[in-house]
Structure 1
Amino acid sequence: MARCEQCGNDYHSPIEITMKGKSHTYDCFECAIEQLAPRCAQCSTRVIGHGLEADGAVYCCGHCASEAGVQASA
């Protein structure tokens, strides 16, 4: 069995994710998201979809990017 990096649970069917060349082991997607997904620079929501990136910051949506002063590009 493998131990989840987030919660420590030993699980017989772990999820293995490689991100930026480093391997991670989790017992569920919830734990993987909590540890790996970035947070929106404006509202701190976990960004688990495409999101937006501007000036090195990640935003969950166009509204948050706009609230942070990011100008839409044409």
Structure 2
Amino acid sequence: MAGSVLTPLWLDTPDRPAPRPALPGDVEADLLVVGGGFTGLWTAVRAVERTPGLRVVLIEGDRIAEHATGRNGG
């Protein structure tokens, strides 16, 4: 359809935070989660809920909730 935007509703908002800068160097963590789709986000949240004080680092190559588990990944 003309004028359609191929962006999920939750990403198509002016309130969306700007991308965070790359990590400045080495980081120590108890748990590293690779991938910031909904599965990765939920994994990081649940890990901290289950073990408060756990140092969790989540890395994503693009933007959080941007790809497969943030939209229909087929």
TM-score > 0.5 by shorter chain = no
By percentage of residues, which structure has more helix?
Answer: 2
By percentage of residues, which structure has more strand?
Answer: 1
Q: State the TM-score bracket (shorter-chain normalisation).
A: under 0.3
Q: Which has the higher contact order (CA 8 A, sep 6+)?
A: 2
Q: TM-score, normalised by structure 2?
A: 0.20
